[in-house]
Amino acid sequence: MSALTGIVKNGVIVLEGNVKLPEGIKVLVEVIEPTWAPEEEEEFTAWEQASDEAWALIDQC
């Protein structure tokens, strides 16, 4: 069988198209790294840094 694509919604992988797989079939899931515009990448990096700093403050309490 060829590779299938889909997205995660509410923690469940939803395949694109009208794909029906047999119940109990084993699958291999590979995460496709998204590609972001440079300004989006900068924003994500800033949010990650802010999150790390917030956790560090909590650890100090």
Task: Give the count of domains, the chain.
Answer: 1
pLDDT for position 1? 64
Please report whether residue 28 resides in a domain.
yes
Please report whether residue 1 resides in a domain.
no
- Tell how far CA 37 is from the center of its chain: 17
What span, in angstroms and rounded, lies between the C-alpha atoms of 44 and 33?
14
Range of the domain at 28: 6-60
What span, in angstroms and rounded, lies between the C-alpha atoms of 15 and 59?
40
pLDDT in tens, the chain (61 residues): 688 999 899 899 999 998 899 999 999 999 888 788 888 888 988 888 888 888 888 878 7
